[in-house]
Amino acid sequence: DAQSLLIGFQQPHTVTFEAEHATLGKTSTNVWHGDKLEGATPTVTADNGYRFTGNWTVGDKTYTADQLKEVEISNEVSPQFEFRYQ
């Protein structure tokens, strides 16, 4: 049926992680539509003089790392890490 054909053509969404003043364990991952990030978030190593606040921004929303893992992915997104100069 038509629904089965659509499922076969689905592609995962790319989640691109962005950070200034840090090194990331990975810069992107693929997540299937409707799935959660869960363990797909990268490790973060802040540059000298900076610290990771523990928050991520997606559009106009801010999430803790635990909250971000529970977000259902429905399109391409680019979470940005928040850093503070120490």
User: Digits of tens for pLDDT over the chain (86 positions)?
Assistant: 555 555 556 788 999 988 888 999 999 999 998 999 888 888 889 999 998 888 888 888 999 888 888 888 888 888 887 888 87
Q: What is the DSSP letter of 12?
A: P
Residue 25, classed as helix, strand or coil, is: coil
Give the DSSP H or E segment for 56. strand 50-58
Residue 69, classed as helix, strand or coil, is: helix
